[in-house]
Structure 1
Amino acid sequence: MQLENMTIKVPKTAVKDLKDKEILFFLLDKALSKLEFYRSKCKQFEKKYGTTLEKFRQKIEIEEENFEWWDDFILWEGYEKAYQEWKRKYEEIKFVLQNN
């Protein structure tokens, strides 16, 4: 994992109260919130179709074309990718916090 410095402008009054770790905790909380949002969207589709994304993909590829299923598949796949991305970000931020 590559780390990069980041510079942001904040009000002077906030600077004295914020520590680097606190900012990382804010980022961790944001990442957790995002990953939980996307996970809940995936769970909605799992409940609706009673299966996993991969099994659903296999089903719609062999059955007669169903536009609602394909629309849901595209959304579901996007939610899954977003979930995986935010999960990765969460784990990276958590790692930085644990090792600083």
Structure 2
Amino acid sequence: MVILGDIFEHVNYVKVPGKTFKPIHKTLKTGLYKDENEVLHWLVHKKAEQKKDYYCKKISEMEQKYNMDFSVFENRIHLKAKQENLEECNDLILWGGYVKACRYWEQFC
């Protein structure tokens, strides 16, 4: 349980003064960064890169699976609308999500 203010409580057994927990990243202590905002900016940037790389990898897997890029695959599915293939329809939805997510995270890199 967390109580806002000066005291941090964990299951009512341990009480630790709030001043014990300093929100300073260890890289700030070593002098690599000027302040906490710079550390936070760096952390967000790194997380965005990881997310972007993850979704780009997923996009590559789909491109290898179908041997085409998303726009070609999307057109192919829409042209074959009468012959529904459930796996391809599911992959279209997943792949589209991967593309959107990759574009979203690229803006933070």
TM-score (structure 2 length as normaliser): 0.67
Unaligned runs of 5+ in 2: 1-20
Q: 1:12 aligns with which of 4, 22, 29?
A: 22
CA distance in 2, matches of 1:12, 1:72: 45
Q: Write the letter of the residue equivalent to 2:24.
A: A
Q: 2:53 aligns with which of 17, 20, 36?
A: 36
Shift of the 25–13 alpha-carbon distance from structure 1 to 2, 3 Å rule, reads closer
Query: Which of these two proteins has the greater Rg computed from alpha carbons?
Result: 2
The structural deviation recorded for 1:54 is 0.5
Q: 2:106 aligns with which of 81, 87, 97?
A: 87
Task: Name the Cα RMSD after superposition.
Answer: 2.0
Q: Which residue is equivalent to 1:5? A: none
The structural deviation recorded for 1:25 is 1.1
Q: Which residue is equivalent to 2:7? A: none
Q: 2:93 aligns with which of 70, 74, 98?
A: 74
Shift of the 69–12 alpha-carbon distance from structure 1 to 2, 3 Å rule, reads same
CA distance in 1, matches of 2:23, 2:77: 56
In terms of fraction of residues, the more helix-rich structure is 1
CA distance in 1, matches of 2:63, 2:43: 30
What is the aligned-residue identity percentage? Answer: 29
CA distance in 2, matches of 1:56, 1:82: 18
Kindly provide the CA deviation profile for residues 11-70 of structure 1, in whole angstroms up to 9, marking residues without a partner as x. 326277362222211111100000000110111000000001000011111122111100
Q: Write the letter of the residue equivalent to 1:74.
A: I
In terms of fraction of residues, the more strand-rich structure is 2
